[in-house]
């Protein structure tokens, strides 16, 4: 890589990412104490696999990645269809099992969809600043996202599907879509929510919403996990109960503690100071990522970075919010912290692309 590219890279993004990974590994070490550190060891293996791929995603020009995204999109759609025929795990057909490891194609599809949708929007915008605000062009562009989202909902995995929506909204916002579309979409969502609840959502999804609104209604059943999570976070107080010494974590009351509720483990055993530091690191990471989107050398880079920002914001907000009882439980992992090889690899590729864009940036191009 050129010295100029290395100099331009927003290294603070990588530093925040590495700190989050380190905190996650510490929490996973403690959370897997009673299982001979099985998931902790797998996470280390996935990290070793992810680092070279992270480097490749930094070096290979993001314009080339976007150019080949239609091919990758086709492969992703095939995988999303194929995974529907696998054996369900916890009620969802979201993973391919490869030996003792599992791969989640919907995670990798996030990368591809962000690249392709950013490419489509940038090509549309070349024909005119307000082209993306034309209803026909907007609806046609959204087909890129609708197809994989419907396949992911079919699994069912509503949390991951929502991440796609956040990415799309972020890209369209940066592209300068007319505000009336944003307000209209919000209004339609508000109207659709009760209809979805009563006529579309399966019973388990309705139960999660009911538990979110009133977890004490079923403290030993559907509300159990969230109540234990809140208890764990509260018990940690300022400096935590100590690594490997958390009651909810070590006695098995907190579940699943390595994925959905890893933040609860951090809150209980490491305390408010470390838990708050995790949130601060995410805020810094997202802030710097927004700056990369703002200073990208072209529309394509700006849109890709914005899509990545949307995904990071959703995952951070949803995961931490659900562990505190502020949002419904969706099974969304906490980026870089939760156990999950597909999630870790995907998120590190997204970080690599952000660093890639920042290394080639020139000036701000946000639409006004």
Which tens digits make up the pLDDT trace of 263-304?
Answer: 999 999 999 999 999 999 999 999 999 999 999 999 999 999
* Tens digits of residue pLDDT in 33-65: 988 899 999 999 999 999 999 999 999 999 999
- The mean per-residue pLDDT over the stretch 166-190 comes to 83
Q: For residue 137, what pLDDT is reported?
A: 87
Question: pLDDT class for 217, splitting at 50, 70, 90?
Answer: low
Place of tokens 């993001």: 62
Closest among 117, 31, 63 to 311, alpha carbons compared: 117
- Both tokens of 45, joined, read 């293996």
Task: Compute φ and ψ for 299, nearest 5 degrees.
Answer: -60, -40
Task: Tell me if residue 300 falls in helix, strand or coil.
Answer: helix
Residue with the two structure tokens 């907007």: 138
- Give the pLDDT score at 368: 40
Rounded CA-CA distance 329/211 in Å is 9
Residue 289: phi, psi to the nearest 5? -70, -40
Instruction: Delimit the domains of the chain by residue range.
Output: 3-359
| The predicted structure's pLDDT at residue 367 | 43
Residues 266, 248: Cα–Cα separation, whole Å: 11
The pLDDT-based confidence of 200 (bands split at 50, 70, 90) is low
**Neighbouring-strand partners of residue 102:** 97
Which letter, b or e, does each residue of 45-65 get, where b requires 16 or more Cβ atoms within 10 Å of its Cβ? ebbeebeeebeebbeeebbeb
**Cβ density class 285-320: b for 16+ within 10 Å, e for less:** bbebbbbbbbbbbbbbbbbbbbbbbbbbbbbbbbbb
361 and 8 Cβ atoms separated by less than 8 Å:
yes
* Separation CA 188–CA 183 (nearest Å): 9
């Amino acid at each position: 890589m050129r010295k100029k590219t290395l100099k331009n890279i927003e290294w603070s993004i990588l530093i925040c990412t590495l700190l989050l990974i380190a905190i996650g590994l510490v929490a996973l070490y403690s959370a897997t104490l009673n299982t001979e550190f099985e998931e902790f060891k797998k996470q280390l293996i996935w990290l070793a696999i992810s680092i070279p791929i992270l480097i490749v995603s930094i070096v290979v020009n993001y314009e080339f990645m976007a150019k080949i995204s239609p091919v990758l999109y086709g492969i992703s759609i095939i995988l999303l269809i194929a995974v529907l025929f696998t054996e369900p795990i916890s009620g969802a057909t979201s993973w391919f099992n490869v030996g003792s490891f599992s791969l989640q194609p919907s995670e990798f599809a996030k990368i591809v969809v962000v690249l392709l949708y950013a490419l489509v929007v940038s090509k549309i915008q070349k024909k005119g600043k307000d082209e993306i605000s034309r209803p026909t062009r907007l609806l046609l562009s959204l087909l890129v996202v609708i197809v994989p989202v419907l396949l992911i909902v079919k699994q069912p995995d509503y949390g991951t599907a929502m991440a796609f929506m956040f990415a799309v909204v972020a890209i369209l916002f940066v592209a300068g879509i007319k505000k009336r579309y944003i307000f209209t979409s919000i209004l339609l969502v508000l109207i659709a929510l009760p209809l979805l609840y009563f006529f579309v959502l399966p019973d388990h999804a309705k139960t999660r919403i009911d538990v979110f609104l009133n977890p004490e209604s079923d403290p030993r059943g559907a509300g159990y996990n969230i109540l234990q999570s809140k208890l764990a976070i509260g018990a940690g107080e300022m400096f935590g109960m100590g690594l490997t010494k958390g009651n909810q974590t070590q006695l098995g009351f907190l579940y699943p503690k390595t994925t959905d509720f890893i933040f609860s483990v951090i809150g209980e055993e490491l305390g408010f100071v470390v838990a708050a530091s995790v949130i601060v690191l995410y805020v810094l990471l997202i802030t710097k990522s927004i700056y990369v989107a703002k200073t990208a050398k072209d529309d394509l880079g700006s849109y890709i970075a914005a899509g990545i920002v949307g995904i990071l914001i959703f995952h951070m907000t949803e995961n931490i919010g659900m562990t505190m009882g502020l949002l419904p439980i969706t099974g969304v992992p906490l980026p870089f912290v939760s156990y999950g090889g597909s999630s870790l690899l995907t998120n590190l590729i997204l970080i690599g692309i952000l660093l890639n864009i920042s290394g080639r940036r020139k000036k701000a191009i946000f639409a006004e």
